[in-house]
């Protein structure tokens, strides 16, 4: 299958959106476009599994390599493995859901949907790129739409949040760029697969790994560079928050894995203790900070910090299982947090408040939305049957295999966060969903069909992973094996 379609379709959709007029037409176009993307992703999965089943053991499938800036060794090189496919599926799901929840976006709807689609294009491109420059290109494409989405359609202190988010992400990509330069001038290629074959000198790695990792880390809300997350998420319109937490933060995690760790494994190995330290802090710190929040969106945003900590932790532990876990956690957190934001958005659009204290007993009047919220919450606190459990347990298992005492401690501390998670999730649920209802909320209505569809879509994803994790492990397993070959080399080298 031709991967470029994944970029082409959003592009065409965006153009079509610009040409369309009237909310009805535009959202229809966007929706159809997103459905096509979903279809593409599904088809991609199908053909991928087929050719894997046919015994194709190539690290990357469906590769396409065309020269872009030949003198600078910049190619348009795309290809997928299990991990990227998981990410692509996640993206397409969230895109559909996001467009569904912003079904009645009256204000500047054309620009709004255009930017949403553009954002999704950046994500797709990022996940399929095998050329560092292209990858970086798409990484940055995904920044500006966020700025505009938050700044124009946001709520609260939106411009400040938008500015903070854009600048911090830009700083992140600046660091990434330096890292790329270092890699490029020591290998004279941007091609990830090529570089993986080569051996970057240890000194070089030690110098450039921090740039690359921190750079992507900022995208993945690595402590202490996470402060864009709460404000950004809180101010963003619902769909934007879903994209932000569901997709963009995954760009960071994926980059940390695919670029920083995969290409500079020795450095990753020698720096792993710092990574793990930061991740552990992020996890527990995020969890406790969440406990103190009173705004639903802030609660979810901070919990995202804590959950993305697991991704970093999994990567930092450098065992196959833990990296598997990191990937699963990316997918799971993407779906879960998107669902959470969707539910919050639905509640907010009805009650016009996100303050836990001002809500209550919503289960009575809007059972569907409330149930969605509860499901998201249970997934977030890692209840079996939902994806969160699988992801976290895999990370713990993997981390635990790392027999070093300090790493053990880190694992235990991170595992302890599940209790705190339970505390804040149940507080939020207990106050806003359960308990006595405010009489002014008595008259509110339950979800509309599009909201229901969006929620069901995401829940399905969550439940599938939660009920049948072997599906996703089978998908990403071989790819993580490839990663591990590289990393294993590094660790044995030392």
Question: Which segments of 44-115 are extended strands (E)?
Answer: 61-69, 74-80
Residues 212-241 that bind another protein (CB under 8 A): 224, 226-228
178 sits near another protein (criterion: CB under 8 A): yes
d(C-alpha 90, C-alpha 456), whole Å: 14
Which CB atom, from 31 or from 392, has the smaller least distance to another protein?
392
Nearest to 270 by CA among 310, 312, 221, 318: 318
Residue in 8, 23, 141, 453 binding another protein, rule: CB under 8 A: 141
Residue in 58, 185, 198, 442 binding another protein, rule: CB under 8 A: 185
61 sits near another protein (criterion: CB under 8 A): no
* Range in contact with another protein (rule: CB under 8 A) among 53-61, 169-177, 234-242, 347-355: 169-177
In the bound complex, what is the minimum distance in angstroms from residue 340's beta carbon to another protein?
A: 17
Which stretches of 237-264 are DSSP H helices? 238-243, 249-255, 262-263
x/- contact string, 432-471, with another protein (CB under 8 A)?
-xxxxx------------------------------xxx-
In the bound complex, what is the minimum distance in angstroms from residue 21's beta carbon to another protein?
A: 13
DSSP code of residue 72? G
Nearest to 304 by CA among 337, 349, 263, 347: 337
d(C-alpha 250, C-alpha 244), whole Å: 9
Tell me how crowded residue 142 is: count the other CB atoms within 10 A of its CB. Answer: 25
Nearest to 96 by CA among 247, 235, 212, 219: 247
378 sits near another protein (criterion: CB under 8 A): yes
* Range in contact with another protein (rule: CB under 8 A) among 20-28, 34-42, 55-63, 376-384: 376-384
In the bound complex, what is the minimum distance in angstroms from residue 43's beta carbon to another protein?
A: 26
64 sits near another protein (criterion: CB under 8 A): no
CA atoms within 13 A on the CB side of 36: 18
Residue in 87, 99, 393, 476 binding another protein, rule: CB under 8 A: 393
d(C-alpha 304, C-alpha 314), whole Å: 15
x/- contact string, 242-281, with another protein (CB under 8 A)?
----------------------------------------
Which CB atom, from 174 or from 491, has the smaller least distance to another protein?
174
Residue in 53, 55, 57, 71 binding another protein, rule: CB under 8 A: 71
170 sits near another protein (criterion: CB under 8 A): yes
Residue in 31, 48, 211, 219 binding another protein, rule: CB under 8 A: 211
Question: In sequence order, what DSSP letters do the residues of 307-322 get, joined into one string?
Answer: HHHHHHHHHHH--HHH
Find out whether 462 and 375 touch, Cβ atoms under 8 Å.
Answer: yes
Which CB atom, from 277 or from 437, has the smaller least distance to another protein?
437
Which CB atom, from 31 or from 153, has the smaller least distance to another protein?
153
d(C-alpha 333, C-alpha 335), whole Å: 5
Contact residues for 37 (Cβ-Cβ < 8 A; gap 6+): 6, 9, 10, 13, 92, 95, 96, 120, 124
Residues 310-349 that bind another protein (CB under 8 A): 319-321, 324
Tell me how crowded residue 386 is: count the other CB atoms within 10 A of its CB. Answer: 25
Find out whether 245 and 233 touch, Cβ atoms under 8 Å.
Answer: yes
Residue in 103, 273, 288, 348 binding another protein, rule: CB under 8 A: 288
167 sits near another protein (criterion: CB under 8 A): yes
Contact residues for 419 (Cβ-Cβ < 8 A; gap 6+): none
Which CB atom, from 435 or from 478, has the smaller least distance to another protein?
435
Which CB atom, from 44 or from 116, has the smaller least distance to another protein?
116
In the bound complex, what is the minimum distance in angstroms from residue 418's beta carbon to another protein?
A: 7
Which CB atom, from 55 or from 436, has the smaller least distance to another protein?
436
In the bound complex, what is the minimum distance in angstroms from residue 356's beta carbon to another protein?
A: 13
């Amino acid at each position: 299958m031709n991967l470029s379609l994944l970029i082409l379709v959003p592009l065409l959709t965006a153009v079509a959106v610009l040409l369309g007029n009237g909310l009805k037409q535009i959202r229809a176009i966007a929706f159809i476009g997103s459905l096509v993307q979903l279809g593409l992703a599904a088809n991609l999965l199908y053909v991928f599994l087929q050719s894997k089943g046919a015994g194709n053991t190539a690290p990357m499938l469906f590769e396409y390599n065309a020269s872009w800036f030949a003198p600078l060794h910049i190619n348009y090189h795309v290809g997928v493995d299990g991990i990227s496919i998981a990410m692509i599926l996640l993206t397409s799901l969230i895109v559909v859901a996001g467009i569904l929840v912003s079904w009645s976006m009256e204000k500047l709807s054309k620009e709004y949907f255009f930017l949403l689609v553009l954002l999704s294009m950046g994500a797709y491109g990022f996940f399929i790129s095998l050329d560092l420059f292209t990858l970086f290109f798409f990484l940055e494409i995904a920044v500006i739409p966020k700025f505009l989405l938050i700044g124009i359609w946001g709520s609260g202190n939106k411009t400040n949040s938008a500015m903070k988010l854009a600048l911090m992400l830009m700083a992140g990509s600046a660091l990434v760029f330096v890292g790329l330069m270092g890699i490029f001038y020591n290998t004279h290629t941007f091609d990830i697969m090529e570089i993986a074959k080569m051996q970057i000198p240890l000194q070089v790695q030690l110098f450039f790994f921090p740039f690359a990792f921190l750079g992507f880390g900022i995208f993945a809300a690595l402590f202490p560079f996470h402060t864009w997350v709460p404000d950004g998420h809180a101010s963003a319109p619902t769909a934007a928050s879903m994209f932000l937490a569901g997709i963009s933060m995954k760009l960071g995690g994926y980059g940390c894995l695919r670029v920083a760790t995969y290409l500079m494994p020795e450095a990753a190995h020698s720096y792993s203790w710092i990574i793990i330290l930061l991740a552990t802090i992020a996890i527990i710190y995020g969890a406790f900070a969440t406990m103190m929040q009173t705004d639903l969106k802030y609660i979810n945003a901070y919990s995202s910090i804590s959950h993305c900590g697991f991704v970093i932790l999994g990567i930092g532990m450098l065992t196959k299982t833990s990296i598997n876990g990191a990937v699963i956690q990316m997918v799971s957190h993407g779906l879960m947090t998107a669902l959470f934001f969707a539910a919050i958005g639905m509640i907010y659009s009805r009650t016009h408040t996100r303050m836990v204290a001002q809500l209550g007993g919503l289960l009575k009047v809007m059972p569907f939305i409330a149930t969605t919220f509860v499901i998201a919450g249970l997934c977030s606190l890692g209840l079996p049957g939902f994806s969160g459990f699988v992801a976290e347990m895999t990370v713990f298992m993997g981390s635990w295999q790392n027999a070093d005492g300090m790493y053990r401690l880190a694992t235990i501390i991170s595992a302890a966060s599940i209790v705190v998670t339970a505390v804040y999730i149940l507080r939020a649920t207990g106050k806003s969903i359960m308990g006595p209802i405010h009489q002014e909320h008595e008259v509110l209505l339950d979800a509309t069909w599009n909201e229901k569809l969006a929620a069901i879509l995401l829940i399905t994803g969550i439940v599938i992973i939660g009920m049948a994790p072997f599906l996703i492990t089978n998908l990403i397993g071989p790819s993580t094996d490839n990663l591990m070959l590289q990393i294993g080399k590094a660790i044995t080298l030392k």
